[in-house]
Amino acid sequence: MPSPLARASGRGGDATLIVAAAIAAATSYTTIASDFNIGVVVAGCAVLGVLTVLRLTPQVPSRAAFCVALLIGLVPQWWRPPIGNVDRGPLFPLATGLGMLASVLLIVGAVVVVHRRWLLGALAYLSMSAAATLVVQASARPAIDVWVIFQQATRGLLEGRNPYEMAFSGVPAGQTDDCFNYLPFTFLAALPGRVAFGDVRYGELLVLLAGSAMLVWVAYRARPAERAWFGMLLLVMAVSLPGVLRITQQAWNESVVLGCLLAAVALLLSDRAGLAVVPLALALATKQHVVLVLPLWALWPSFGWRRALTSGALAAGICLPWLLANPGRFYGCTVGFFLDLPARPDSISLWRFLPAVAQIPVVIALTVGAYLLAHRFLDRSTASLVLGCGLVFAAFDLANKQSFENQWLLACQLLVAGLACRAIERRDRAQGDASSRTELQRS
């Protein structure tokens, strides 16, 4: 009979998974601040902190918790599909239907006999991939600054122009039109989609699918392990959470960040830490706040500070040509823009509830607190590294002046991916996990 500690460890995996699903669902159902989603993210972050301190995460969750988490995610996918600010084509219902079908296939995969689970997981991954591709095809001309500036920046790049010196036309009133405010790998990753299909979103989606497919392949290669199949289902769940279709549709570059991070994790699990330097550098050269997780990678023995410095240097090298071309403009668009960015009253965070004098200190304190939790209470497995990245992003998002669905989704996807890595690691350092192993052996 499992010990109380073993039972608690299993429940820790369940709680982590359900918290991640709940935050993703709440921030997708209401994509700007409400009492509902702010309450969910605050409670969820508190639970994650407690689980980390008690060393109850990352652990492999139960199949029951997996099914409950997927059912939670189906609610906003059904009631709040991404129908706003786009010209919807005839294939839009098929896209959203395939997105929900992926979750249904995952639920079935968790309860059927073992030899069918890999097939159902693969079908779920293909269903989600098709859904994301079709949602781009069926969602023309998103009325959002991100898509407009990415489209025009990549066109300018093809014409030999510097995206950081451009102003952008056709941006909805009140949104950014005078700066390309992301790092260069954003438009470099989006460029193939612009060239091949006329839309940057296909290029961003390609990065996400490539990175996630690499990690799914690692899970497949580990299939003699008793829980590798469950790791594969959890990975597919990570890219099927509510909000994924909206992120893809709106061209937010979290999809690029996640794809690069998953590729780095896949290489780390394959004992190719030297190669993992490259995709981590690409993530760092995509969006500014990714640098927050670089200290974690430096602290983890399987990666180390030398490789972390190399990734940072490579990311800086990617940015260097545009910095040298126009230092003032590059700094103003990628750093000064965010320092001067006004707070949003609809941010899904605690920023607007804090006294002005406490706002920045609280952001710093929460982020540092997440580092301390990860360093002190997580083991040094790859699963803990991935989950630690999710914790750091969640802590930062909790008090940042502009935190929305896209930022919260990235944190939740990393939390789920961390649980998936626990299931497929060849050297599982988890303790007190006997209850989950017993359940999976009996299935």
The predicted structure's pLDDT at residue 426:
55
pLDDT of residue 4: 46
Q: Which pLDDT does position 124 carry in this prediction? A: 97
Residue 241 in this model has a pLDDT that exceeds 80: yes
Read off the pLDDT of each residue in 153-181 and give the average, rounded to a whole number: 95
Of residues 32, 434, 36, the one with CA closest to residue 227: 434
Residue of 293, 290, 285, 291 lying closest to 319 (CA atoms): 285
Q: What is the pLDDT of residue 300?
A: 96
The identity of residue 344, as a single letter, is R
Question: Between vectors from CA 44 to CA 146 and to CA 292, what angle results, nearest 5°?
Answer: 50
Residue of 131, 32, 135, 24 lying closest to 89 (CA atoms): 135
Q: Alpha-carbon distance 187 to 155, whole Å?
A: 10
Which helix (H) or strand (E) segment is 140 a member of? Answer: strand 139-140
Confidence (pLDDT) at 10: 61
Letter for the amino acid at 111? Answer: V
Confidence of residue 103 (pLDDT cuts 50, 70, 90): very high
* Cβ–Cβ under 8 Å, residues 369 and 322: no
Among 227-231, 271-275, 329-333, the range scoring the smallest mean pLDDT is 227-231
* C-alpha span between 50 and 292 (Å, rounded): 21
1: pLDDT confidence band, cut at 50, 70 and 90? very low
Q: Which of 283-297, 313-327, 386-400, 421-435 has the lowest mean pLDDT?
A: 421-435
Instruction: Name the band, by pLDDT with cuts 50, 70 and 90, for residue 226.
Output: confident
pLDDT above 60 for 19: yes
pTM of the model: 0.94
Quote the Cα angle for 303-304-308, to 5°.
90
- Asked if residue 56 lies in contact with residue 8, where contact means CB atoms within 8 angstroms, the answer is yes
Per-residue pLDDT tens over the stretch 38-80: 999 999 999 999 999 999 999 999 999 999 999 999 999 999 9
